[in-house]
Amino acid sequence: MSRLEVPLAFRKLRTTGDLVVRAELVLAIKTDRSVWEPFPFLIDSGTEMTTMPAGEAKHQNLPMPKKPVSGLTFQGLEVRSGLLRAQIPGMDATEYVFPCYFLGDPNTRPVRTRNLLGLTGVINQIRLIFDGTPSLVAQSGVLVVEKM
């Protein structure tokens, strides 16, 4: 079984002093030129569908449907329903295919991009475990990624 441990990222809020934790995973995504490019994804167990800004996907030459889904919007943004071909750097060379909603106008690059890795089509292929046990290399714990 292929397995990867990624330290959880954290920051301290200046206003309250609280330590907030997040899990980030870099996926290698296959472009329309058959090149694997790294993209950071925030792991969100409360997100149903993986999302990526359409403008960023187009700029990075990711395969994406030309037309949005009729009648479907997300927070006022048009949605293109597509697929991401991904590998997980640090694990074996397995190629995963994850469903993805490409959000917004593909001709407009967002100022800040936030790629979210959701549950649908992901958790049946890889196991994601949040382990908050601190260590010398991972103060706030780790995200454990395992091939199923």
In angstroms, the CA 29 to CA 16 distance is 37
Of the candidates 54, 77, 76, the one whose C-alpha atom is nearest the C-alpha of residue 65 is 54
26 vs 19: CA distance, rounded Å: 23
What's residue 98's pLDDT? 98
For 85, half-sphere exposure in the C-beta direction (CA atoms, 13 angstrom radius) is 14
**What's at 65, amino acid-wise?**
P
DSSP 13: -
Residue among 123, 126, 124, 130 nearest 144 (CA): 130
pLDDT tens digits for range 74-133:
888 999 999 999 999 999 999 999 999 999 999 998 777 799 999 999 999 999 999 999
At 128, list the tokens: 């994601």
**Residue 51: both structure tokens together:** 């999302």
The model's pTM is 0.90
- Local structure of residue 68 (DSSP, 8 states): P
